[in-house]
Amino acid sequence: MSEQNFIDIAKNATVNKSISKYEEKCLSKLYSKFQQLLEDAMKSDIDEYIEKSGFLEAQETISRTIPDNVPTSSAAAWRPSGDPHQDMKSHEAENLMKCNEMLQDVVDEQVVKIQCLKQDIAHKRVLTHQLMKTLTNMQEDFMKLSSNNSSLQDLIVEMLSFLNRDVKK
């Protein structure tokens, strides 16, 4: 929307369909302030989106790993320059980039496996904790039932200490 359209809309909103020069200047200032605020909000939204998406880190990583003079990794884009030393360097760089991509795939797979293992470990810890609670409750019940039988109590205490030792490992 242009400034003139903004002023025309304000004129049409008034009862007598006209505004003074002072009001027009105020509307012009309001329009420029509105436009500046809108641009600032859009810029901050774009900056926020770029920051959240990790674009800057990815661009920095790429710039550190790939020199500017290396051609793209597609085989169709590579053409010999006529200088055998330069051709070997660019060919080696292309091979390194392919290896880097393969290694990145392996790393990504390992990260997924690690996350799955962490979830399994957390689940097993919860189950172990529940088992220990159950055993402790059972021990208390057995202690109540067999307060006269000390050998049974010793056996239960020994069993619990064995389980506690294994859980702590």
% of the chain residues with pLDDT over 70: 62
pTM of the predicted model over 0.75? no
Is the pLDDT at 78 greater than 60, yes or no?
no
Q: Is the pLDDT assigned to residue 59 strictly greater than 80?
A: no
Determine contact, residues 28/3, Cβ cutoff 8 Å.
yes
The pLDDT of residue 149 is above 80: no
What would the pLDDT profile of 80-104 be if each residue is shown by its tens digit? 566 666 666 776 778 888 888 888 8
